[in-house]
Chains A and B, each alone.
Chain A
Amino acid sequence: MSELSLERGINTLKAQIDAPIASFFSSCVSCGMCASACSFYTENPEPRYTPIYKLEPMRRVWEQNFTLLGKLKVKLGIAKPVTDEMLSQWQELVYNTCSLCGRCSLICPVGNDITYMIRKLREGMVASGHVPEGLVGASTRAVKIGSPMGIKLPALQAQVKHIEKATNMQVPFDLEGAEYLLMLSSMEIMNYPEYLEAVGKILTNAGKTWTLSSECFEATNSGIQIGSSDIAKELVSRVVNAAEKLKVKTVISPECGHAYTALRWEGPNLIGRPYSFAAKHIVEVLDELREQGLLPTEGMEDAKLTFHDPCQLVRRGGVVQQPRNLLKLVASNFVEMTDHGTLNWCCGAGGGVSANEDANEVKMKAFQRKKKQLDELKVDTLVTACANCRIQLEEGLEENQMDLPVVGLTELIAEHLVERNTINEESRHD
């Protein structure tokens, strides 16, 4: 097998360029609206941070290989070639200052899906070896150990034991024929174990059968972040195999944005066939339970709270109304940010940015946009539904000395859950 090389990178880009990309590049009118849509640009207004400019290497490959004018330029020797120097400069633009949040795609007046193109450009960056170390490490751990943070099954089992002790709830592993297979993100296992507790409580309370898989519990997909369909396919196949082995009806993607994108949207394309199960985000599952009357709650949060929409959930996934339905159940003083829903600003650390140490400084700059939104509202609590957003929000708030608790939506719901045993006891009294 040959080494990664510039030639391999350019060849990969040629293979990635498809009809949508050709039409996007042809129809770009250079209006620059994508710049004002991107928090990496607005909080750091340097022209090179304009989203469409981040695609320059791919644009050159397209022009020089697939357009008459570009071929002519190559013949005349006036075409600027894509070189290793160029790609190493662009590494910052393609990885450090893009979270694949999709806001530029949404704003683009001619409908160019810039995020789609960045995702494809990363394929070429991988094949030419221009990738941040942090993402290389995460991808390697994900493939070799089974989790980008290097968490192994015993660590999860230890957390499960804690939960079982604290709640008297059974956390099933490898339960064949269960309705739901619950996937997790490393971030949740290590930093927010309360998530697993909350989901378990809600599903058990709703009378649903659910399970974890000892073969595959990690839903995050470093292949999507680094931009390698080969790695992404390997990782998503593990989830599919586990789900099909256990014959579950639905796989629940955790509170993690890009894990949802990987499982829900990219997965079937990567493995080249439809799933035999449904793939849903936990917020979608909770809202279904609410509709079926299986999510009884009591008490209301009086604190003024707002909801940070995870990009992959609203913009790439269309899950906008469900979290609001759920918040209405438990919050009496829920307020919306400006630009909420599909237009919400990115936390600044998705799409591989949080795993990339090179981006530590710039992601905090991008957070300033979120800070401005929060400063306008003066809320007491910030709710979100993505562990990655949550880490970034907590870090950003701390760095800016803002005293604002960040809560996961699922945990918030679980806190207000009316447990079935209690209902039964109450009805017995009647």
Chain B
Amino acid sequence: MTQFNMPTVGEQLRENGISRRAFLKFCGLLASSMALAPSMIPKLAEALEKATRPSVIWLSFQECTGCAESITRAHSPSLEGLIFDTISLDYQHTLQAAAGEAAEQARDEAMQANYGKYVLIVDGSIPLGNAGYSTIAGVSNLDMLKQVAKGAAAIIALGTCAAYGGLPQANPNPTGAVAVADIIKDKPIINVPGCPPIPVVITGVIAHFLAFGLPALDHLGRPKAFYGQNIHDRCYRRPFYERGLFAETFDDEGAKQGWCLYKLGCKGPITYNACATTKWNDGTSFPIESGHGCIGCSEPGFWDFGGLYNPVSLPSSLSSQHVVFATGIGVAAGVAIAALNKQAKQQAKQTREPVNVDQLNREVQL
């Protein structure tokens, strides 16, 4: 329901000097990146135009602010940035002007005013170890998440830390970090992983939520529209992989020729994200185009894949030292067993009695 003091997204955009043409272009981009049919563009535009400027509460837990950086520093001036202006970002402790008690009061007010309707964005993981590992205004992350999640219409777990635990959860996980979905079980949660996620993916998910509600999710809670494609399948270096042409080091001839980075640890084959198609920095490029393999940042546990530069199919926990030790033990055991067997055989040989033809007719008692 449109209220007097609650302008729609469309109104807000035009107030900020965004033309209808630019808005439709944005809708087209979103529609294509979400693999929607062209006929859906006007519907998306209409839905967004009419959508009430939603209240958003953004909680930052164990994180590095990279995800917020990704959106705010995306490309300036950008529609993604501006659509963010059109949502009512009522609490985001890095961006908001208010501080201290005033900030927490803003959060309480927003929650009360929009109870049951606001969108909760979480970046960062939640420590289950000592509550003191991460607090905001004296409240532990766990308590605050539970409290704010209660009145949320939906939760967007932004970035790999919030979606799957991310860096804080990396082995040995000193803080006992967990993902949002590990704690909240009774609200729809959309995981938007990445370290950080691609800006247009973030705004695309928000736009989809505003226009059509929850998007279709894969088995890891990610919107299929953005995370349905494998980086390796969409990689422009894939033909080199097929032909067995690999860069062996970062400065060899293969690297200069732009051959496949598989042997240099590219995690493209096991990573699902939109990087290879949507790309970064206003569609300029993605990491593999800069000559570095994918690190698999949108996958659960990517820090523990065994090294950014280890190829995916090699056993990464086995060092050459282990192999030497194992071989040594194997050889020693082999020698010991052989010696025992030799002894057994010698004994059998010594105790063997020659057979003579007079003995041959043995009556076997069965």
User: Using a CB–CB distance below 8 Å, which chain A residues touch chain B?
Assistant: 1-5, 8, 11-12, 14-15, 17-18, 22, 65-66, 68, 84-85, 88, 126-131, 136, 139-140, 143-144, 226, 228, 230-231
B353 within 8 A of A: yes
Contact check, A12 vs B352: say whether CB atoms are below 8 A apart.
Answer: yes
Q: How far is the CB of A268 from chain B (nearest CB, A)?
A: 19
CB contact under 8 A between A140 and B360, given known A1-B353, A15-B345: yes
Of B341, B355, B358, B361, chain A has the most CB atoms within 10 Å of the CB of B355
In the bound complex, residues from chain A placing their C-beta under 8 Å from that of B355 are 4, 126-127, 228, 230-231
Closest B residue to A140 by beta carbon equals B357
Contact B362 A4 (CB under 8 A): yes
Closest to B349 in A: A15
Q: Give the 4 A-B CB pairs with smallest separation, nearest first.
A: A129-B362, A14-B348, A15-B348, A4-B362
B366 within 8 A of A: yes
Chain B residue contacts of A8, Cβ below 8 A: 352-353
Does chain A have a CB within 8 A of B351? yes
| Chain B, residue nearest A13 (CB) | B348
Chain B residues positioned under 8 Å from A128 (CB to CB): 362
CB-CB under 8 A from A66, the residues of chain B are: 341, 344-345
Q: List 10 A-B contacts (CB under 8 A).
A: A1-B359, A11-B351, A66-B341, A68-B337, A88-B364, A127-B355, A129-B361, A139-B357, A140-B358, A140-B360
**Which B residues fall within an 8 A CB radius of A?**
337, 341, 344-345, 348-349, 351-362, 364-366
A381 to B355, CA, bound (A): 43
Greatest chain B CB density within 10 A among A11, A65, A85 is at A11
CB nearest neighbor in B for A226: B360
Contacts of A1 in B (CB 8 A): 353, 356, 359
Apart from A11-B351, A226-B360, what are 20 other A-B pairs with CB-CB below 8 Å?
A: A4-B355, A4-B359, A5-B362, A11-B352, A12-B348, A14-B344, A15-B345, A15-B349, A22-B341, A66-B344, A68-B337, A84-B365, A88-B366, A126-B355, A129-B359, A129-B364, A131-B360, A136-B357, A136-B361, A139-B360
Whether A85 contacts B366 by the Cβ 8 Å rule is yes
Query: B348 and A130: CB pair below 8 A?
Result: no
- Kindly count the residue-residue contacts between A and B in the assembled complex, taking CB atoms under 8 Å apart: 69
A139 to B360, CA, bound (A): 9
Q: Which residues of B contact A3 (CB under 8 A)?
A: 359, 362
User: Is the Cβ of A65 less than 8 Å from the Cβ of B364?
Assistant: no
CA distance A185 to B354 in the complex (A): 26
Q: How far is the CB of A21 from chain B (nearest CB, A)?
A: 11
Q: Is the CB of A136 within 8 A of B360?
A: yes
Residues of A within 8 Å of B341, CB to CB, are 22, 65-66
**How close is A24's CB to chain B, nearest CB, in angstroms?**
15
B362 partner residues in chain A, CB cutoff 8 A: 3-5, 128-129
- Which residues of chain B are near A84, meaning CB under 8 Å? 364-366
- Complex: chain A residue closest to B363, CB-CB: A129
User: A88–B362 Cα gap in the complex (Å)?
Assistant: 12
Residue from A15, A18, A130, A140 with most neighbouring chain B CB atoms (10 Å): A15
**B362 CB, min distance to chain A CBs, angstroms:** 3
CB pair A15 B359 closer than 8 Å: no
Which residues on the A side are within 8 Å of B352 (C-beta)?
8, 11-12, 15, 127
CA distance in complex: A18, B361 (Å) = 28
Distance of B24 from chain A, by nearest CB (Å): 67
Q: A226 vs B364: C-alpha distance in the bound complex, in angstroms?
A: 17
Chain A residue contacts of B348, Cβ below 8 A: 11-12, 14-15
Give A195 to B119 CA distance when docked, in angstroms: 106
B353 / chain A contacts, CB cutoff of 8 Å: 1-2, 8
Q: Report chain B residues within 8 Å CB of A17.
A: 345
**Among candidates B344, B345, B360, residue contacting A129 with C-beta atoms closer than 8 Å:** B360
Nearest-CB distance from B364 to chain A (Å)?
Answer: 6
CB of A270, distance to nearest CB on chain B (Å): 12
Closest to A91 in B: B364
Chain A residues closer than 8 Å to B365, beta-carbon distance: 84
CA A22 to CA B338, docked complex, whole Å? 11
Q: Which residue of B lies closest to A68 (CB)?
A: B337
Residues in B neighbouring A144, C-beta threshold 8 A: 357
Return chain B residues, CB-CB under 8 Å to A11: 348, 351-352
Check B344–A65 contact: CB distance below 8 A. yes
Contact call A143/B366, Cβ cutoff below 8 A: no
Question: Do residues A230 and B356 form an inter-chain contact, with CB atoms below 8 A?
Answer: yes
Chain B, Cβ-Cβ closest to A7 = B351
Distance A18 CA – B346 CA, assembled complex (angstroms): 11
- By a CB distance below 8 angstroms, the chain B residues around A139 are 357, 360
- A139 to B337 CA separation, bound complex (whole angstroms): 39
- For B333, the closest partner residue in chain A by CB is A68
- Give chain B nearest CB distance to A123 CB in angstroms: 8
Q: How far is the CA of A231 from the CA of B355 in the complex (A)?
A: 7
- In the complex, the answer to whether B359 meets A143 with C-beta atoms within 8 Å is no
Identity of the chain A residue whose Cβ is nearest the Cβ of B344 in the assembled complex: A65
